[in-house]
Copies of this chain bind each other. A is one copy, B any other.
């Protein structure tokens, strides 16, 4: 049976944005009727670009939110909160980070007539969430699932065992046609689908035992920005940008 990759119908405003230095994807979603929207995983260095797009498109940004406490870049949520009045910062309660608002597993994040369902998908960090669009046409997986890969599990409360369970029970349980948008890609790919990753992901098609062995053997260097980024991102949801800056 051939896998399904077709794009679902979606009367939704949607923009994928890229930050080159950390290869991070930022996502802007808005309800085309009310023009209320959210931004997922913005980066500090591209906050001006993002605010300009939001303004030019006439979007009222209700939340600037993160899939998790990032270790490789500083979040743009604090800057967007300053630039776009009415915008609140949002993160999973269990991340331990500060923010204006929090969500728990299963909660709906509303923007206009649309919503994202927050699903806890820990394993890369303890507080990782995947955001699933109301019609299940798209999901934003953060670093839990990357295109043909996944986030590392060796710090920030990470666990390969937990990540394997999260992906299989909460992401691979979505329809095969669901488009998956990750927080990063290092090869210039922009999107994948559940069907594709269930078939071609070199790590997550393995048994849990093999997956744990792969993740233990990665031997990755410590992220360059971790000592700056993690403390900043734990506070960034409520950080007041100094008036003089």
CB distance from A20 to the nearest CB of B (A): 6
CB distance from A63 to the nearest CB of B (A): 19
Interface: A53 (CB within 8 A): yes
B189 touches A2 (CB 8 A): no
- Among A1-56, those with CB < 8 Å from B are 2-7, 9-20, 32, 35, 46, 49, 53, 56
A13 touches B2 (CB 8 A): no
B46 touches A188 (CB 8 A): yes
B190 touches A16 (CB 8 A): yes
CA distance A17 to B199 in the complex (A): 20
B6 touches A13 (CB 8 A): yes
Complex: chain B residue closest to A179, CB-CB? B14
B2 touches A196 (CB 8 A): no
- Among A177-230, those with CB < 8 Å from B are 187-191, 196, 199-200
A190 touches B188 (CB 8 A): no
B190 touches A190 (CB 8 A): yes
**7 cross-chain CB contacts under 8 A:** A5-B57, A6-B13, A9-B10, A16-B191, A18-B188, A49-B188, A56-B196
Q: 4 more A-B contacts (CB under 8 A) besides A18-B189, A18-B190?
A: A15-B190, A17-B189, A49-B189, A56-B200
